[in-house]
Amino acid sequence: MPKFYARGRLSVLAGLTGLVATAALFNSPTASAALPTPIAGSTARSYLSQLTVAAEDRTGYSRDKFPTWITIEGTCNTREYIIKRDGTNVVTNSACTATSGSWYSPYDGATWTSASDVDIDHLVPLAEAWDSGASKWTTAQRQAFANDVTRPQLLAVTDNVNQSKGDQDPATWIPSRTAYDCTYVRAWVQVKYYYNLSVDPAEKTALQKDLSGC
């Protein structure tokens, strides 16, 4: 059984999909995404030293094994909840679909006025979680991971940036906006530690390097 049930109570949260209105890109940020504050750099370094180092195995992976999105509160599913949380002046209709607002993507520094230009990134990707131990979880545990709004795991970001990241770990992908790098790797280690997920050798080396400056 994954250790995350011993490290803290897991909130199983909710789903559907939220899309939205008008699109426009601005050059300067107008808001900061409200990712739950990650652990301190010193804590992240300590946690990283405790993670199991193991080769990854993607055998049997399917995104369908991580059900998304589930209902979080009211009529809002996980995506819609994060869209509201991470946006500024977000207005939603009765179905919790955003009809206006703006969204700042901390990965690249872009601001958008249409939620359809924003993806919800799983900071530790679902495929990465599968490779690192989630293949042994139950479907309910994988659903909880995929919809976790309590840990720093879900974040609204520019859609094509999220797509370019794909399922890469910090050995091969880090946000282009370097001011966010420390936040990103601290959050990565926190999520991996909480869910008792392993790291591969290249991933650990990259995290050690990135965390050294945090």
Task: Give the separation between CA 69 and CA 48, rounded to whole angstroms.
Answer: 29
Closest C-alpha among 66, 94, 67, 72 to residue 85: 72
Position 34 confidence tier, pLDDT thresholds 50, 70, 90? confident
Position 11 confidence tier, pLDDT thresholds 50, 70, 90? very low
DSSP 16: -
Domain residues for the domain of 173 are: 4-211
Domain count within the chain: 1
What integer best gives the mean pLDDT of the chain?
A: 88
pTM for the whole structure: 0.85
For residue 21, the model assigns a pLDDT of 30
- The residue with greater pLDDT, 30 or 210, is 210
Q: E-assigned strands of the chain?
A: 25-26, 71-73, 76-77, 87-92, 98-105, 110-112, 118-122, 154-158
**And the tokens for 199?**
């790291």
Is the per-residue pLDDT at 26 higher than 60? no
For residue 24, the model assigns a pLDDT of 31
Lowest-pLDDT choice from 30-39, 98-107, 121-130:
30-39
Task: Give the separation between CA 149 and CA 169, rounded to whole angstroms.
Answer: 20
Task: Give the separation between CA 15 and CA 73, rounded to whole angstroms.
Answer: 9
Task: Give the separation between CA 214 and CA 211, rounded to whole angstroms.
Answer: 5
